[in-house]
Chain A
Amino acid sequence: MILYDRVSKMYASQQRPALDDVSVEIEKGEFIFLVGPSGSGKSTFLRLILREERPTSGKVWVAGKELSHLSNWKIPALRRQIGTVFQDFRLLPNKTVAENVAFALEVIGKPKAHINRVVPEVLEVVGLEGKELRRPDELSGGEQQRVAIARAFVNRPMILIADEPTGNLDPGTSADIMKLLDRINQLGTTVVMSTHDSNIVDQMRRRVIELDGGHLVRDQSRGVYGYAQ
C-alpha cells in the first residue's frame, strides 16, 4: 500500500536532512504508529505520502503509484484516496458540523443527493448524531476531532493519515479518538498515525515505526513506545 524506498528529504533552508535514507513498507489494512521526538521527521514522512513534499532522493509508492513521477493534475485523485487528520482539527469555524463534512465532498464535485446520504452516515460512525447543526466553537476538542475524522473518512479512503491527532486532547478523550481510529481501521482503511503519547502506543500494541533525527531507528510489530535499544 505504501512503500518508502531509500527516501531522503532535505529542506532547502536546513543543514541536516529531515528524513535520511528511510525504507519501510506498509501493508494494506495495517495500523501504524509513527513515533519519535519533536523534529524527528514524522510530519515530513506523512507529507510525502500526500505528495505535499517530494523526496530529495529515493522513491515513495502509494497505491501502486510512484509519486515523484505523478503529474500535478493527478495529485487530487491521489489525495481523494487518502484521508487526513491533524492535531489542530482544521475545521471551518463559520460552518456547521454537517457543512464541514459536506464541504469535503462539494469541492470534489460530488452530487447533492450523494452528499445528503453519506454525511449523516459518517456522522453516525464517529458518534456525532444530533450535533449536525453545531458550529466548531460549540463543540469540545474531542468532538471537533471527530468532525475532522468524519471529514477525512466520508470518502471511504484507502489510507488515513493522522498527524498527532490526540496532541490537543486530554487522556480520556484521546482514548475515545483511538477507539474511533481503530474502528475505521477495522472497516478496511490503512491508518498511519504519528504521536507523542506513550500510553496510547503501549495500550494499542500495533506496529511502531520510530524516527530519530530523520533516521529510522525501530520498526517493530506489536511495539510499545519506549526507545530503540
Chain B
Amino acid sequence: MRAQFVASEVGNGLRRNLTMTLAVIITVAVSLGLFGASMLVRAQVTTMKDFWYDKVEVSIFLCSKGSDTPSCGSQAVTKAQRDQIEADLESLRPLVQEVFYESKADAYARFQEQFKGSPIADNVTEGALPESFRVKLADPTSYEVVASAFAGRPGIEQVNDQRQILDKFFRLLGGLQLVALLIALSMLVVTVLLIVNTMRVAAFSRRRETGIMRLVGASNFYIQLPFLLEAAFSAAVGAVLAIGGLVLTKAIVIDNILAPSFQFTSFVGWDAVLAIAPLMFVTGIALAGLAAFFTLRKYLRV
C-alpha cells in the first residue's frame, strides 16, 4: 500500500518533470534565439557600416539657373567659380581622397540607372538635376572641415553629407538591436529561474534516492551529477534548436529573401553565424550552470 503510493508519487514526479524539461528546452531555445538574433543584427549593422562608409561621399551641389539659395542668386554656377572650387578641393588633400565632377548629364544618367523601371525615372528631365562635385574623404567623420570651407560660397547651392543620413538609419538599427538584446537578457533571466525551479522539482521528486545516497556516503558529486546533466542536456538541446533557428534565418530569410530584394547593400556572411553560434551554446550551458549553482547548494548538499 505504502510502496504503491510512493511508486505513483515517483511516477507523477517523473511525468511532471517531462513537461518541465520540455518547458526548459523551449525557453532556452527562445531566449537564446533572441539573443543570437540581436547579435546577428549587430553584426549586420557593422557589415553595413563597413560597406557604406566606404562608399559615402560628401556632395557639393552647384547652383543651377533659378536656384533660390542666397549664394546662388538665381544664377547658374560660372566656369570660373567651378574651377576655383575644384582647385580648393584639390588643395585639401590628403583629407580629400577623391574628387570627381558630375555634370547634369552624368547625374541624369545615374538617376535613370538607379530608378530603372520606376515611374520616378520618367518624371525627371535632364536639366532638373544639379551638377555637383562628389568628394570622398579619407576619414568620413571629418565632414565638418569640408562643410565649413564650402557651404554658402558663391556658386554652391548645398553641401550634403550622406553619412549623416546613414547614421540616422544605423542609430535606428542600433536601437532595435538594443531592444532585442534587452528582451533577450530578460528572457535569459527567466530561463535561469525556470531551470532553478525545474531542478528543485526534480530534487523534490527524487528526495528518497538522494536521501539514501547521502546516508550511504555518496559524495556531493555523485548526488548532484544527474541533476546537473539533466539541466545541461536541456540547455544544450535548447541551444542547438536556437542555433538551428539562426542558421535557417541566415539561409532563408537573409540569403533567399532579403539579399535578392536589397541588392544595394551587403548582408552578414556565414562567418558571423559561425562566430555567434558557439557564443549561444556557451551561454546556454552557462545558464544551466548558473541555475545549478543556485539550486544544488541549497537543496542537494550532504
Contact = CB atoms under 8 A, between A and B. Distances in A.
Interface string A64-102: 000000001101111111101000001111100000000
Contacts of B208: 90, 92
A103 B217 CA distance: 12
A78 B217 contact: yes
A73 B222 CA distance: 12
Interface residues of B, number: 21
A82 B214 CA distance: 12
Given A72-B302, A76-B302, A107 B213 contact: yes
A104 interface: yes
A126 B7 CA distance: 25
Nearest to A168: B2
A93 B6 contact: yes
B180 interface: no
Interface in B1-38: 3-4, 6-7, 10
B244 interface: no
Report whether over half of chain B's contact residues are helix, strand or loop; otherwise say mixed: helix
Interface string A7-20: 00000000000000
A93 B3 contact: yes
A93 B7 contact: yes
A72 B3 CA distance: 33
A146 interface: no
B3 A77 contact: no
A109 interface: yes
B218 A108 contact: yes
Interface in B185-227: 208-209, 211-220, 222-223
A107 B216 contact: yes
A137 B7 contact: yes
A50 interface: yes
A-B pairs with lowest CB-CB distance, top 6: A79-B217, A80-B217, A137-B3, A107-B218, A104-B216, A76-B217
15 contacts: A76-B217, A76-B302, A77-B217, A78-B217, A79-B215, A79-B216, A79-B217, A90-B211, A93-B3, A107-B212, A108-B222, A109-B222, A137-B4, A151-B216, A155-B216
Interface of B: 3-4, 6-7, 10, 208-209, 211-220, 222-223, 301-302
